């Protein structure tokens, strides 16, 4: 800017200088208003951009939450099905163990009954055999007694005859 303080101006020059200053001031004011308008527009645009970015982030987070909720729900369903499967397997195993124990008990009972019957049969056969042995021994003993008594009778008759 020019410094005119050292020069004297005439009235026309002063009016012209004053008008020039007024035009320059008006130009500077208009330029400042234009800059302010551009800055306001820039601030508004940045605010809208920030709001849009925030809305996009919130939308993305909502989408992630929804996907996460669906994934969590699927995980819970899978865990629930796995737990049901394990519980079913445990019930099946328990039922199989009970059935196996029942079969073992039945087999043991059958073996015990079979052994008892075999023992009873053997005892009876043994008793019969013992009785038969005693009977045969008694018979042989009776025959021997009979022979002895017959011999003794013969000997006595021979003695009587003699």
pLDDT digits (tens, 9 = 90+) for 136-159: 888 888 888 888 888 888 888 888
Where on the phi/psi map is residue 2: left (φ > 0), alpha (ψ -120 to 50), or beta? Answer: beta
75-114 residue pLDDT tens: 899 999 999 999 999 999 999 999 999 989 998 898 888 8
Q: Which residue has the higher pLDDT, 160 or 51?
A: 51
30-46 residue pLDDT tens: 999 999 999 999 999 99
Confidence band, pLDDT 50/70/90 cuts, at residue 9: low
Please state, in angstroms and rounded to a whole number, the distance separating the CA atoms of residues 47 and 41.
10
């Amino acid at each position: 800017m020019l410094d005119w303080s050292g020069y004297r101006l005439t009235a026309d020059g002063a009016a012209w200088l004053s008008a020039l200053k007024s035009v320059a001031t008006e130009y500077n004011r208009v330029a400042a208003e234009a800059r302010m308008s551009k800055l306001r527009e820039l601030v508004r645009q940045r605010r809208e951009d920030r709001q849009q970015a925030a809305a996009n982030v919130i939308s993305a987070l909502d989408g992630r939450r929804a996907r996460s909720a669906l994934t969590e729900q699927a995980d819970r369903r899978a865990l629930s099905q796995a737990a049901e499967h394990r519980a079913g397997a445990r019930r099946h195993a328990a039922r199989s163990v009970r059935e196996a124990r029942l079969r073992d008990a039945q087999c043991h009972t059958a073996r015990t009954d079979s052994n008892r019957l075999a023992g009873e049969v053997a005892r009876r056969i043994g008793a019969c055999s013992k009785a038969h042995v005693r009977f045969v021994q008694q018979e042989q003993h009776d025959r021997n007694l009979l022979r002895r008594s017959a011999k003794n009778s013969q000997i006595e008759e021979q003695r009587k005859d003699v």
